Amino acid sequence: MNIFDDLIKLARERKSEPVEGSYTNKLLSDKSLSKAKVLEEIDELIEAVEKDTNKIHEAADVFYHLIMYLEANNIKVEDVMAELDKRKK
C-alpha cells in the first residue's frame, strides 16, 4: 500500500470513527479550515520553491491537506484519478 492509499484510508476511517482532538478530524469536519489550509500550504510550497528551501516538506503538506480537503467535500481521489486517466493521450 502506498502513502496516498494510507492517507485516504486515514481520512475515511476518521470520518466514520472520529478521534477527539485529531487534527485530521478538524480538517474533515471544518470545510472552511480545510480550504484555508490548502491555500496556505500551496502558498508555502510556492515560496519554498522560489527560495529553494523546505520544498519536499511543503509539498508533503500540500498533498496531505489536499487529500483531507477532497475527502471533507466528498470528492473521491479514485474519481480524480479516473479523470486523469481519461485525459491520457
Kindly report the average pLDDT of the chain as a whole number: 95
Q: What percent of the chain has pLDDT over 70?
A: 99
- Entry pTM: 0.91
Q: Report the pLDDT averaged over residues 40-48.
A: 98
Residue-wise pLDDT tens digits, 16-27: 999 999 999 999
Q: Which three cell numbers stand for residue 56?
A: 519536499
| Domains with residue ranges and CATH for the chain | 3-86 (1.10.287.1080)
Beta-carbon contacts of 70 under 8 Å, excluding residues fewer than 6 positions away, are: 76, 77, 80
Q: What is the pLDDT of residue 3?
A: 92
Band of residue 1 on the pLDDT scale cut at 50, 70, 90: low
Query: Nearest 5 degrees, angle CA 13-CA 84-CA 56?
Result: 65
